[in-house]
């Protein structure tokens, strides 16, 4: 219930942000042409990419709300990660375009109208600042964070345009406009690189940066009866949801004892490492060491699965099951 409420709130914020951004794009493009300001025109282009980013994030949030199916057993959780990756990648391309245009302005200076620059940029600071503030609450999700970075970058860069317009008005130095564009371009590149890196890491099934596999292995091996943990994999479904799969060799024990070990291991990774989706395979041997003192021809294998979900009232439940092959 709480999750659906969050989805609804995010969708409403994104709808408002889309409407405000569309109006601002029209204003910056029109007045940028009138003022002959590359800084304003680059803002229009940047905000056009923001509009696309907001739209893509909106679709991703909608997809994430859909339930899993036999064809999409994890649902559409990765939709937000993919949206964040595309958004940040498009920003890097845009930053390159703005930089090339700014260099052209150094070679062929154009007179700009500082009063118009400052007025339109002031409106942008208010609008982008408002949207960034609304999105900040939900920026733990990498999809929303990619849009938040867009809007925060816009707020800072439009504030720079105001300062630039003021300096141009005082000094009549026209080169300030393309310098501002280069600063905006560098800001966009810097802010988007981190998101490209994070989302690509998730899409390539990398181990979450907050997770230390050695720590998990050590913690699991402290459970009674566990000899060693191997074939250990941890990956991210989203920036906030992780999964684990591994093989655990244990001493010979009854099925009930195996259930107890599974419960202990699931508790360990869930409560200490925040991993709620686990697949743990127990390999039962009658040997207490792993240096080849004995090797049963047919070791018993136990599979344990833990799936985290929300029951009535938003309470969390984990289920571990064991069966012998």
Average pLDDT value for residue range 240-252: 90
The DSSP secondary-structure symbol of 253 reads -
Local confidence band at 218 (pLDDT 50, 70, 90 cut-offs) = very high
Given a cut of 60, is residue 142 above it in pLDDT? yes
Contact criterion met (CB below 8 Å) for 301 and 284: yes
Average pLDDT value for residue range 24-28: 83
Question: What's the burial of 200, exposed, middle or buried (CB within 10 Å: 0-12/13-18/19+)?
Answer: middle
Q: Name the residue with higher pLDDT: 281 or 7.
A: 281
Given a cut of 60, is residue 303 above it in pLDDT? no
Tokens of 127: 């609008």
Percentage, residues of the chain above pLDDT 70: 84
Lowest mean pLDDT among 34-48, 83-97, 167-181, 296-310: 296-310
Residue 299 phi/psi, 5-degree rounding, is: -65, 145
Coil/strand/helix, residue 168: helix
Q: Please list the residues that pair with 303 across neighbouring strands.
A: 281
**pLDDT value at residue 233:** 94
What is the pTM for the complete model shown? Answer: 0.68
At how many degrees (to 10) do helices 176-203 and 79-107 cross? 160
Tokens of 108: 């062929």
Average pLDDT value for residue range 240-260: 89
**pLDDT value at residue 315:** 34
Tokens of 77: 């959780």
- Tens digits of per-residue pLDDT, 32-56? 888 777 767 776 776 777 788 888 8
Distance of CA 246 to the CA centre of its chain: 26
Q: Count of CB atoms within 10 A of residue 159's CB?
A: 16
**pLDDT value at residue 71:** 84
Residue ranges of domains in the chain, CATH in brackets: 2-203 (1.20.1510.10), 213-317 (3.30.70.1350)
Coil/strand/helix, residue 73: coil
User: Whose CA is closest to 165, among 117, 213, 230, 205?
Assistant: 117
**pLDDT value at residue 3:** 57
Rounded alpha-carbon distances, angstroms, from residue 73 to 67, 95, 138, 187, 237: 9, 37, 25, 39, 12
Given a cut of 60, is residue 203 above it in pLDDT? yes
Average pLDDT value for residue range 196-225: 90
Torsion on CA atoms 56, 59, 64, 69, rounded to nearest 10 = -120
Q: How many helices (H) and strands (E) does the chain have?
A: 8, 6
- Please provide the DSSP assignment of 297-324 as one string: SS-EEEEEEE--EE-GGG-EE------B
Contact criterion met (CB below 8 Å) for 24 and 124: yes
Tell me the pLDDT of the chain averaged across its residues.
79
- Tens digits of per-residue pLDDT, 256-284? 888 899 999 999 999 989 898 899 999 88
| Rounded Cα distance, 232 and 280, in Å | 9
Local confidence band at 290 (pLDDT 50, 70, 90 cut-offs) = very low
Lowest mean pLDDT among 23-32, 129-138, 305-314: 305-314
Local confidence band at 306 (pLDDT 50, 70, 90 cut-offs) = low
- Tens digits of per-residue pLDDT, 73-107? 777 878 888 888 988 888 788 788 878 878 887 87
Given a cut of 80, is residue 232 above it in pLDDT? yes
Which ranges of the chain does DSSP label H, i.e. alpha helix?
A: 2-35, 38-64, 79-107, 114-136, 142-171, 176-203, 213-221, 255-273
Q: Count of CB atoms within 10 A of residue 279's CB?
A: 14
Given a cut of 80, is residue 248 above it in pLDDT? yes
């Amino acid at each position: 219930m709480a999750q659906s409420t969050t989805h609804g709130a995010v969708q409403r914020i994104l709808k408002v942000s889309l409407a405000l951004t569309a109006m601002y794009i029209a204003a910056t493009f029109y007045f940028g042409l009138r003022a002959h300001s590359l800084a304003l025109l680059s803002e229009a282009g940047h905000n056009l990419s923001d509009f696309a980013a907001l739209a893509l994030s909106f679709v991703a949030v909608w997809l994430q709300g859909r339930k899993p199916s036999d064809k999409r057993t994890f649902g559409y959780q990765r939709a937000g990660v993919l949206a964040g990756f595309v958004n940040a990648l498009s920003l890097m391309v845009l930053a390159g375009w703005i930089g090339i245009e700014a260099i052209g302005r150094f070679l062929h200076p154009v007179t700009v109208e500082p009063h118009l620059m400052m007025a339109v940029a002031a409106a942008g600071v208010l609008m982008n600042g408002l949207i960034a503030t609304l999105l900040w609450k939900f920026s733990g999700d990498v999809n929303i964070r990619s849009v938040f970075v867009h809007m925060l970058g816009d707020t800072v860069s439009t504030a720079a345009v105001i300062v630039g317009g003021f300096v141009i008005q005082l000094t009549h130095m026209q080169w300030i406009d393309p310098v501002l564009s280069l600063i905006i371009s560098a800001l966009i590149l810097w802010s988007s690189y981190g998101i490209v890196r994070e989302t690509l890491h998730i899409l390539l099934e990398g181990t979450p940066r907050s997770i230390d596999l050695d720590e998990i292995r050590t913690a699991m091996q402290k459970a009674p009866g566990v000899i060693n943990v191997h074939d250990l994999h941890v990956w991210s479904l989203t920036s906030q949801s992780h999964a684990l799969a591994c093989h655990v060799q244990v001493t010979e024990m009854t099925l009930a004892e195996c259930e107890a070990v599974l419960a202990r291991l699931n508790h360990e990774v869930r409560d200490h490492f925040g991993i709620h989706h686990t697949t743990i395979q127990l390999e039962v041997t009658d040997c207490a060491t792993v240096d080849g003192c004995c090797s049963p021809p047919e070791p018993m294998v136990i599979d344990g699965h833990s799936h985290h979900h929300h029951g009535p009232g938003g309470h969390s439940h984990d289920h571990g099951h064991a069966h012998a092959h």
